[in-house]
Structures are given as structure tokens and as C-alpha cells.
Structure 1
Amino acid sequence: MAGVGRILRLLIPRSASSSSAQPEFSTRAVIIGLAIGCLLCFTNLSLGLQSGWISMMSIQSALIGFLISRMFSAPLTPQEVIVVQTTAVATGTMPLAAGFVGILPALGLLSEERDGTPPIRLSWLAAIGWSCSVAYFGVFLSPPIRKQVIVEEELAFPSGTATAQLINVLHQLPPPDTTLRRRQGYQQIDNEAIDRVDTTAESPPSYQAVGSVDRVPEVVEHDGWRPLLWSFVFSAVVSLSAYFFPVLFAIPIFGGYLATQWLWYFTPSLSYIGQGIIMGFPTTVSMNLGMVVGWAFLSPLSKYSGWAPGPVGDMSNGARGWILWTSLGIMCADSLVSLLPVALEQITNIFDRRRIRLFGAQNDERIKEDREVETPDRLVPTDWVTFGVLLSIIVGTFLVWVVFGNEVIKPWATVLGFILGGLLSVIGVRALGETDLNPVSGLGKVSQLLFAWIQPGNVAANIIAGGVAEAGAQQAGDLMQDLKTGHLCGASPRAQFYGQLVGSSMSIIVTATAFTLYNRAYEIPGPSFPAPTAYVWLSLARLLRDGHLPENSAVFMAAFATLFAVLSMIKVHAVRRDLWYAKWIPSGVAFAIGFLNTPSFSIARLIGGIMEYIYRTRYAKDGRDIRLIVVASGFVLGEGVISIVGLILRILGVGVVSCWGCGHGLCGECPALA
């Protein structure tokens, strides 16, 4: 511990820590953040490979860090909790940022006969190199974007704002000043309005108080550990039981025929239920609407019409592969339409700034003084950013060349991927700031469309270059939520920057190691880890190369894309006007995820969403009761820990105890069915 502390102190210039009366980037904050982040990394990798959906877990990281610190003689300061959260998020989101849940499994699905490239499966060292190539670009993009979207424009970033509210409540501090300038497209978020935040993929449910605000730390300290502990243990016991008795996670509650022939069964995963609580009721409803449309209507239609003659679960010629294209059309339409207002506003701002430079700023009401409230010693210097961005591009391009070779992707294509990632990150961050949703799925499709034109016919290069572009946008967006929290709570941006660098560096090793172990123990994609987003990446790359679609899938793809383009326009308008019905318009991305996963994934999340809705509307009306989110955190983390235990058991050759009940053929870990 002392050695780690000396290393960390060497990393921090004295001015960065001495200017603040409260400790911020401390050894204990970083160690707690890394511990939480490593657990989240394993959890998100497992969840992402199962369903294509991960959780940023920023509020959960802050809450768990606060609970841990109550065991110390001197609890963590609010600024230290923010460093804990920032470090944990940077560590825990690498499975998505580096494409371990989509891009790398997609490369493993390549076919030399069909794609001209044999399957690409990275060794542990190659996975380290790939992670290093994309781990830092988004981190160095964050500081310059921060000033524009957080300081100057004061975008809402609802999840970051909610985290700041929670941290101040836990430390018995006045609520942070979240008043936004009233201008077109932005509303005022006050203490009461936080309850109206739309719950999306990264936004948590509303947090309301237990009694008075003064009692919240006492309640969290005495009552917070109990629900966290029992929910963690309960989830762990259920998950471990399902490892030894696989049928527990493949219960044919709809009957053996529907389970065997149409993949309608139930997975009572407490982790999925916890994710549903975190997602919130509207998002889980959107996901289940998609599940019903895809699996109850389109899947039988494609099967009985002869358009998908193979087994229902087959991704090549079965119904699951057929409805994938409709899902892809929905995601592209929803994401691209929702990005248009942000892109147009960004273009308008560029022309405004150019006009001002040419004609002067006299009488222009939009010109304002520098609104930065931090002193230079607490900011990330511009030369650090410039050097870091250039170095990350140069080193990243070299590492991609070393890992994949010149035959797979040209270095100039990788450089273009980084440049495109920088441009897309601005759009993604602004969309996240306004809607609390980082549309990385749509941004990834934009990058694939561009690279299909730049380097046509190369499926592998399309996936890799698109992944490079998506990584920067996704990472910059997630880290911007943390910077918003720090801005509201008075944390040093430089301290958070250090936390991001440390967390990303640790996650390179953790994510690559975890992914390598999972690949050794399981078939990926396979029954336990279907990696649905891998098929999205690969299918679009193949479509852009040869234009071939399954029979009649183009008609449904176009129809649903048009429908959700219209719905997305309505939703964007409603969100920007703060209209009450905005959150009840289905999310296209969540709707499409319902197509990608078998019904068992969506049903369990709907249970969590219903629990969140009932608890929020009936039992937590008058305050900020955080106990449900504590339970949800325990559910997610409990299964995450057991996923590590199960991985170790499988590597050691410890198998299931009984295959009883697995006759429907859905228990992927039962050796009798292997």
C-alpha cells in the first residue's frame, strides 16, 4: 500500500492537490475506485457478451465507495468519492469501449470463404495491444470538450447531475447548483425536477430521501449495508446454483414446445432484474415491446413464410438472423435521426464562431466571457491534451498495425478511424448531455458506412476501423458524465483526469485477461455468451460489401426504420421541450435490443423495471430513498462475482452437478447437451 501511495503521489503535481482544502486524488480513493472498477469490468464483460448491454454504474460506484469509506476513521470527502466514481467508471466500461463485447467476437466470426479473411482471435498479448491502442484517445478528448458542453453550454447530463445530488445528500451538503441558462433546447433542472429525468440505458431511476436529508447518511450507514449485503449474497447463491444446475437459468415456463422450438423460456437472473431497476420502467418496456414484436410476430412470420428456413436460433438462416436486420434498421434510424439536431446545432455554432471572427463580436448577445470557475492548476493543461491526443493516435495506429497486420487494415485507415472518432465524440457527448443516451450504436454504424466507401470490400477493416472510431466517442461520453458530477461538486478536473488515466490503464490488463479466460472456458459466441452485437457489426459490414439481404427482410427493415425515424423525431422534439410524454415514446435502441436477445433477457429486466416503477411511485414519493438502487447494485455485483467464480471452476474442470430438466436443449453448460 505504501509503495502504491508513493507512486501515485509522484503522478500528482503539488499544485494539483494543495490548491484544494479537501483531499481529492488520494491513494485510498484510487484503490477503492480500482477495486470497484475491476469488479464492474468483469460484470460488464459478462453482461455485454450475454445481452449486448452494459451499465456505466456511476451512481453505484459512488454509493459503494461512500459505504466502504464509512469503515475508515476519516470517511472519504465528496471530492474523493468523485475520484472513486471516475476511476471505477473508466475501469468498468472498457469492455464496451474496446469492443470486447462486440468487435472482437465479430472478428472471430469471419469466414475466409465468405469474407476473404480467416477468423481473427486475439491472444492475451494481442488483446493487450488492441486495448492500449484505443484506451486513451477518449480520455484526452474529454478536457477540451468539457469546457464547451459543461462550462459554457451547461448541458444537463442527467446521470452526472443525479450522481452529484446523491453525493451531496450523503455528505449532508447543500444541493449542487444545477440551474441551467434558459435557452432553446434546455430546461431548468432544480431539486424537484430531478425526479423527471428520463431513465435510459445509462440513466438511473429517481433517488428520493428517507425522511429528512439530514438522516440520509445515517440511514445509508446503518441500513445501506444490510440490503447491499443480502442482495449480493442472494444473487451470488442463485447464480452459483445455476452454474451447478443449469436448468435454473433456462426454465421453460411457457411450455417445452415454445422453449425448444421458439426459444421462449425464462432466466430468473437477479443481475438482469437489477439492470432493469437501473434502466427504469420506460426503457424496459421499450425493450419488451421489441421482444414481443420480434419474437412473437416476426420470428414465426419469417419461419412459416419460408424466409428463414433454418432453426429459429440460427443466426445465418434462422428466424433470429432474419429479425436481426429489422433490429439493425431500427437502431440506425433511431440513432441517426436523434443525432441530427445535435449535428445541426454544432454546425450552426461553427458558422457563428466563424462569422464572429470575420465581422467582430459587437452587439452579438451570444458572446460571453470565459465562464471557467477552476484555477489553471486544477485544469488539464492544453499542451497535455495536444500531446496526449497526438501520441494516442500515433501509438494506437502502430499497435493496430502490429496486432492485425497491414493485410487486414492499412495504417491510414486506422488514422482516419481516430479522426472520425474525434468528430463523432462531439456529437455523441452533446446527445448524451441533452438526452442522457450516448448513441454509440448509431455512431458505430456511421463509421462503418464511411469505411465501406473508403476501403470497400474489406469486412475486417470495416469492423476494426469502425471500432476505433466508436471507442473514442463512447469513452469521451461516459467520462463526460463524471466530469459533470465533478463540476457540480467542485472536484478538480485534473484529479478526475488522473483517475481516468489510472482506471483505463488498469482496465487494459483486467479486460484483456477476463476476455482471454472467457474464450478459453466458453464458446464465444455460444449458448452462454451469444454476443448479439457481434452479429450486428459483422452483418452490416457484409451488407455494405455485397448488398445481400435475406428474403423479404429489406421490406420490414425499411418499414420499421421509417416508423422509428418518425418516433425519434417526435421524441427529440418532446425531450427538448420537456414534454411529459417524452419518456413514454419507445426508445428505438432499447426496442431493437429486444430483437437481438432471446425473450428470457428482456422479461427479467421488465421485472426490475416494474419494481422500480412501483417503488418510486408508491413508496418513495416524498424523499430520496436510495435503498432500491442499493439492492439493484447488490444483485448486479453478486452475479458478477460468481461469474468470476464460475469461470475459475470451468477452467479447473469443475462441471455441473445435474442436467435434470435440461431436455429442452437450452442449458448450454450441461455436458449432456454439448
Structure 2
Amino acid sequence: MAVHWFRRLRCKMGATPWDNVDGPQAEFTFRATAIGLLIGCLLCFTNLYFGLQTGWISMMSLQSALIGFLFSKFLRTPMTAQENIVLQTTAVATGTMPLAAGFVGILPALGLLEEDRDGVPPLKLSWVSAIGWSCAVAFFGVFLSPPLRKQVIVEEQLAFPSGTATAQLISVLHELPPPDTTVRRRRGYQELNQDDVAEENVVMNPEPENIGLLRDAIIESVTEESEGWTSLIWSFVASGVMTLAAYFFPVIFSMPLFGRHIAEDWLWTFTPSLSYIGQGIIMGFPTTISMNLGMLVGWGILSPTAKHSGWAPGPVGDMTTGSRGWILWISLAIMCTDSLVSLIPVIYEIVVQKLLPSHIALSLFGSENSSKEDKEVESDDRLVPLSWVIWGTGGSVVIGTFLVWLVFGHEGIKPWATVIGYIIGAILSVLGVRALGETDLNPVSGLGKISQLFFAWIQPGNIVANIIAGGVAEAGAQQAGDLMQDLKTGHLIRASPRAQFYGQLIGSSLSIIVTSIAYSLYNRAYSIPGPSFPAPTAYVWLGLARLLRDGQLPARSSDFMVASAIIFALVSAAKTYASRRERPYAKWIPSGVAFAIGFLNTPSFSIARFLGGFAEFLYYRHYGKEKGGIRLIIIASGFVLGEGVVSIISLILRTWGIGVVSCLGCVPGLCGGCPA
């Protein structure tokens, strides 16, 4: 009866015929999907652009929800919170395809193959082939998400901190009671953006008077100054103008930091990009500290050491004989160690819960683990039917295997090996999703490497098969994990899982075309990898594949890899222990993955992000997270989207043959687009 009353009320308020949907799928509306696709396409270009530059992309789920809320202010009928969740889910599914389909790592790695060394020439996929490859991996993780949701969100009630934080934001923006987050706080639960117990009590367990204060502060920060558009537009324009200026005068984004000699010989430059500053704000101060610590160790200590000791005799920037290629191996050891150590508690709990008697498991993990009661709160017509999951998963594997064979041929990877890749991907997805739910970190970098290790055994010597199989496995784990955060948000706000599933499918389908077109355009206009788009993760994929085939490492790098692995095994263990016990100092323990990213990227990328993280720290310290946090997110989102979108203009200019105006001040090889 309440549903019919709500539907009649929406019609009286002027809802469109499309919005007046019978049944429980009312939140799956044309406007929510359309706006989600629009935001997702912007994120898709942005993530591809920054992924090829730095190897780091963002889900932007919270930012998508916030921008969607701003868009909804122009609608005749206010958008519901559930529609906003469908919008956000669609945007994330569209925007994360560059990483899920390997456009920032797998495909550039295949383009780096050398016939003399690897036995096959470089594989440069055409636009049609890129679409075929994307179709092969785009939907597998989507069909894995419904059964995983049932287990980790409904039954085990894992925290998924980013998804929970997004639900809290949406509830405040739409003036709803705060979502019930009083579920079992597993040891992995970490509340986002909480600096002290008092602040956590306001947000997580708000009293009636605190609810009003918190809602008023956030609504005011979003709605003032023309519904928040002023902040978003000005930050977008500022970042876009700076990006265009850097296109015509490349030195703007490649400033010698300690003089021309240090910049040319040791690659120490500074990129004052507002988008990188915005990314630093979104990442947060602790993460940017970890990244810059890695930069200092990798580029300030290890790189000169390798060069002067003769272990990396080539030019510093050379990925084969230079110190940049030498420290790449240290980065790989740190990433794999950090990812695997963070998975150990997850694997342990899975094994213990299955093997221990129920009364022991109950004492270790709480009543929820042993309860057989079905905790599902949604009706069957709002859930994704099991038959869809079975047919969809089976169909995605069969069709995906055929498409991979069609794109890469029988010599690239055998069909039976591709099927095994999907199976491994499904298993690794479970581990990745559980790790994400516990710690807010999806260790896909380490999971992909596990798949590479396995395929070095079942198809030895085949580098192409090794990379492709790793990409198939990583795609499933990455996509299932990203979508699970959105499903957690939907679970807390009571959005229809089936409506979110529709949004995921539609977003992934459109993103296949958008990402493939964008990647093909970038490939035509720029050298990938190259000065403008170094694609650092491509070297990680190819380097490990070659190592597993040849077993040869650069001089003395193995010693440093072992030492780094031991150090970060201890660091990661300490961070995991502290995080799972909700220690306030846990976020200040260095993140191994962020530390390793500091090795992969030249200093120019890390320093600007540190400035953003430090700005976030000072801003919150002065204004507080409740009062000024949303405004800062809007500004950071504008910075990131500004450069990502305007980069499309730069791409068109490059395609038309319109080059730089002046190379004055440029360091040879470090200024993208400049022949100097």
C-alpha cells in the first residue's frame, strides 16, 4: 500500500511517465541512468588519461553521487536517494572500465613486446579488437556480484568503508535518517574520515540533535552558492585552462625541480597539475605520505645507488638498463608482498570458519557467522535471480573465451587456458572482495600476479598467454570489488539490487565503446608508453612475465627485492593488525601499494598529490570534516574532471596536427608533446 501511495505522490509532483514504473524497480529511471552514463563517460576519459600517466585510477563513487545530486537540482521532480544510488552505480561501472579491461596496463604491455626477445612482435589492438577484448572481460565481474553480495554484505555484513561513507553522504543529502551501520564491526572495519572518538560518535551514532546539525552543515555546504555549482565550475575551469596552457607550453607541467641538470639526468621535475592536487585531496593525507615516502626511497636513494654502483648503467629513465627499470623490481616485490599479507587474515578466516566446530567459530567471529537465519531484507522481485547469474556467468565465460581466441589467436592463449583464467578470476574475486570489505583495499595488483605465477606453470614460456590470463583474472576481481562497494551503499539505503545490476550492465556496455575509442585515439596521437603517457603498470606486467620465463633479474636487484619484501611484510602485518582492531594510528602506517606507486611514477606525479593531501589535512583541521568536507570534495572533483575532460581537446588538437607554441625551458624527453 505504501508503494502505491508513494507512486501516486510522485505522479502528483510531476514525475515523468518513465519514472512511474510499476513494481519495486521505480528507482531504475531514465534520468538516473542517463545522468549516471554522462558522469561515467567523463570519469572514463579521466581514468584512462590518469591511468596511462600514473597507473592510478579512482572509483569516484562518492564524487559521482555528489555530482549526481547537483545535477538533480535541475530536474522538475527531485531525485530520490535510491535513484541517486542507481546513478552512482552506473557511473562507476562506466568509469572504471579503463582499469577493469586492462587499458592502462595489459594492452600497453602487449604493445611493448619485442620479437627478438619475446618471440612475438608488439601487439597493437585495433579499435574493433579492443572492443572484442573489452567484451570478453566486461561482464564476468558483474555476474559475480549478486552471489558475492549475498555472502559478504547480507550474511557476513562486512564494512566496505567507502560504500558505507557514500551511503552516509547520500542519506544526508536527501535528508533521510542515517543508515543503520550498527552491524557487526569486524576487525577490519575502518570508519572513513574519522579523526577522533567524538567525531565518530556524531557520524556513526548520531543523537537527534546531532543529526540535524550534521545534515544542516552538509546541505548548506552543498546548496549554498547556487547549489554548489559555483565551486565545481570554477575548479573545473581552472584545471582545464591550466591543462590547455600546458599543452601549448609543455614546461608548465614539467618544471625542473632542482635545476635542469637534476631534471635531465635524474628525472626530478614538478607537475603543478590541479588534477593531481585534486587526486591527493581525494586520496587523503596518509596515502599521499606513503606515496611520497616511496618516491624519496626509490628516486632519492635507490635510483642513484643503482646508477653509481653500475647495477643500472643505462640512462636513468630507461626501463631496461636504467635505474627506473631497476627500481621497478623493488616496487613489484613490495606490491605483491603487501597484497598477499593483507589477504592472509581473510584466507585464515575462510579456512577457520569452514573447518572449526561451530561453537569455536562463534567465539572467534561472533553470532552472525554461525547464524543460519536469512538476513536478506529485499523481496525476490528486487533481487537478481539465480538463473540470471548462472546463465550470465556461463555465457560471459563461453563468449569471452571465443572473443579472446578471436582477438589473439590460438598461439596467443589457448581456449582451455582462458577458461582456467576465468576460474582463477572467480576464486581471486572472492579474496579481493573480502579484503576490500575488511580493509577498503582491493589488492588486485597482487591478485593479478598470482594468476601470472600460475600460468607460468601451465603455459610456460608464453608471455602473451601469461599477460592475457593475468588480465582476465584481474578484471573479474577488480570489477566485482568495485561494484560491491556500490551494492553496500544500496543495501544501507535500501536501493533495489536488481536496479543496480541493470545500471552495472548498461554502464559496462557503453564504457566498452567509449574506452576503446578513447584508447585508440590516444594511441594515434601519442606514443604509449611515452613522455606524456608512460603507462608504468605495463612494465610491471611485462617485467614479471619475462622474469617467470627467463628467471633473469638486473644485477643485485634480487637482494633488494628480498629485503624490501621482508620489511613490508612486517609493515603490512602491523597495518593489517592495527586496522582490524580499529586503532587510530593504523592509517598512518605506510601503505605498501601506495609506497610502491611512488617507485613506479617519476617524482613529478607524487609531489603534486602530496600537496593535495596536505591541503586536505590543513583544510579539515581548520574547518572540520562535517562543515567543510563536502565543499572540498566538490573542488577536488572539479580539479580532476577538468583536466580529464579538457585532455580530450588536447587529443583532438594533436590529431589535427596542432602542436606546441613554445618549448622554452623544456628538458629533453620530459616534456610531453615537445620535440626538444
Say which is worse superposed, 223-232 or 484-493, in terms of deviation: 223-232
Aligned ranges 1:175-194 → 2 under 5 Å: 175-182=178-185
How many residue pairs get aligned? The number is 642
Deviations 1:243-294 (A, max 9, x none): 0111100011311111011000100111111100000000000000000000
Note the C-alpha offset of 1:367.
2.7
Verify: 1:496 aligned to 2:492, yes or no. no
Aligned ranges 1:89-488 → 2 under 5 Å: 89-182=92-185, 212-214=214-216, 216-223=218-225, 224-351=228-355, 366-488=370-492
CA contact (8 A) 1:210 1:624 kept: no
Deviations 1:432-490 (A, max 9, x none): 00111111001011111111111111111000011001100000000000000000011
Note the C-alpha offset of 1:507.
0.4
Q: Secondary structure, in 3 states, of the residue corresponding to 2:410? A: coil
Which residue matches 1:598?
602
Note the C-alpha offset of 1:187.
7.6
CA contact (8 A) 2:217 2:627 kept: no
Note the C-alpha offset of 1:19.
3.6
Note the C-alpha offset of 1:23.
3.4
Which residue matches 1:3?
none
Q: Secondary structure, in 3 states, of the residue corresponding to 1:625? A: helix
Q: Counterparts of 1:382 and 1:97 in 2: how far apart (Å)? A: 24
Question: What amino acid does structure 2 have at the position aligned with 1:29?
Answer: A
Deviations 1:282-311 (A, max 9, x none): 000000000000000000000000110100
Instruction: Note the residue ranges of structure 1 that are not aligned, 5 or more in a row.
Output: 1-13, 198-207, 357-362
Q: Counterparts of 1:87 and 1:622 in 2: how far apart (Å)? A: 27
Note the C-alpha offset of 1:618.
1.9
Q: Counterparts of 2:369 and 2:471 in 1: how far apart (Å)? A: 41
Verify: 1:525 aligned to 2:525, yes or no. no
Q: 1:637 aligned to 637, 641, 647, which one?
A: 641
Which residue matches 2:509?
505
Q: Counterparts of 1:40 and 1:65 in 2: how far apart (Å)? A: 13
Q: Counterparts of 1:345 and 1:157 in 2: how far apart (Å)? A: 17
Q: 1:551 aligned to 555, 563, 568, which one?
A: 555
CA contact (8 A) 2:156 2:368 kept: no
Q: Counterparts of 1:519 and 1:268 in 2: how far apart (Å)? A: 25
Verify: 1:34 aligned to 2:24, yes or no. no
Distance 1:364 1:595, change over 3 A: closer
Note the C-alpha offset of 1:72.
1.2
Question: What amino acid does structure 2 have at the position aligned with 1:399?
Answer: L
Q: Counterparts of 1:519 and 1:188 in 2: how far apart (Å)? A: 41
Which residue matches 1:360?
none
Note the C-alpha offset of 1:589.
0.4
Which residue matches 2:57?
54
Which residue matches 1:611?
615
Q: Counterparts of 1:561 and 1:518 in 2: how far apart (Å)? A: 36
Which residue matches 1:77?
80
Q: Secondary structure, in 3 states, of the residue corresponding to 1:654? A: coil
Q: Secondary structure, in 3 states, of the residue corresponding to 1:626? A: helix
Q: Secondary structure, in 3 states, of the residue corresponding to 2:256? A: coil
CA contact (8 A) 1:244 1:655 kept: yes
CA contact (8 A) 2:100 2:478 kept: yes
Q: Secondary structure, in 3 states, of the residue corresponding to 2:269? A: coil
Note the C-alpha offset of 1:351.
3.4
Q: Counterparts of 1:551 and 1:581 in 2: how far apart (Å)? A: 38
Distance 1:152 1:195, change over 3 A: farther
CA contact (8 A) 2:218 2:627 kept: no
Say which is worse superposed, 26-35 or 617-626, in terms of deviation: 617-626
CA contact (8 A) 1:107 1:460 kept: yes
State TM-score, norm by structure 2: 0.92
Q: Counterparts of 1:600 and 1:15 in 2: how far apart (Å)? A: 48
Distance 1:480 1:37, change over 3 A: same
Q: Counterparts of 2:123 and 2:74 in 1: how far apart (Å)? A: 47
Distance 1:178 1:212, change over 3 A: closer
Deviations 1:379-418 (A, max 9, x none): 0000000000000000000000000000111001100010
Instruction: Note the residue ranges of structure 2 that are not aligned, 5 or more in a row.
Output: 1-17, 202-209, 361-366
Distance 1:188 1:518, change over 3 A: closer
Deviations 1:345-393 (A, max 9, x none): 122333369999xxxxxx9981330000000000000000000000000
Note the C-alpha offset of 1:222.
3.0
Q: Counterparts of 2:383 and 2:144 in 1: how far apart (Å)? A: 14
Q: Counterparts of 1:364 and 1:639 in 2: how far apart (Å)? A: 46
Distance 1:374 1:391, change over 3 A: same
Q: Counterparts of 2:544 and 2:198 in 1: how far apart (Å)? A: 38
Note the C-alpha offset of 1:668.
2.5
Q: Counterparts of 1:522 and 1:320 in 2: how far apart (Å)? A: 21
Note the C-alpha offset of 1:340.
1.0
Q: Counterparts of 1:296 and 1:209 in 2: how far apart (Å)? A: 48
Note the C-alpha offset of 1:218.
4.5
Note the C-alpha offset of 1:214.
3.0
Note the C-alpha offset of 1:195.
6.2
Distance 1:505 1:646, change over 3 A: same
Identical amino acids, percent of aligned pairs = 69
Q: Counterparts of 2:625 and 2:46 in 1: how far apart (Å)? A: 31
CA contact (8 A) 1:23 1:77 kept: no
Q: Counterparts of 2:594 and 2:639 in 1: how far apart (Å)? A: 21
Say which is worse superposed, 113-122 or 381-390, in terms of deviation: 113-122
Distance 1:456 1:354, change over 3 A: farther
Distance 1:641 1:652, change over 3 A: same
Distance 1:497 1:580, change over 3 A: same
RMSD: 2.3
Q: Counterparts of 1:295 and 1:110 in 2: how far apart (Å)? A: 26
Question: What amino acid does structure 1 have at the position aligned with 2:533?
Answer: F
CA contact (8 A) 1:97 1:474 kept: yes
CA contact (8 A) 1:160 1:484 kept: yes
Q: Counterparts of 1:189 and 1:633 in 2: how far apart (Å)? A: 18
Q: Counterparts of 1:315 and 1:429 in 2: how far apart (Å)? A: 33
Deviations 1:81-107 (A, max 9, x none): 101100000000000000000000000
Question: What amino acid does structure 2 have at the position aligned with 1:114?
Answer: R
Q: 2:664 aligned to 652, 657, 660, which one?
A: 660
Q: Counterparts of 1:259 and 1:558 in 2: how far apart (Å)? A: 30
CA contact (8 A) 1:176 1:488 kept: yes
Note the C-alpha offset of 1:216.
3.3
Q: Counterparts of 1:337 and 1:480 in 2: how far apart (Å)? A: 22
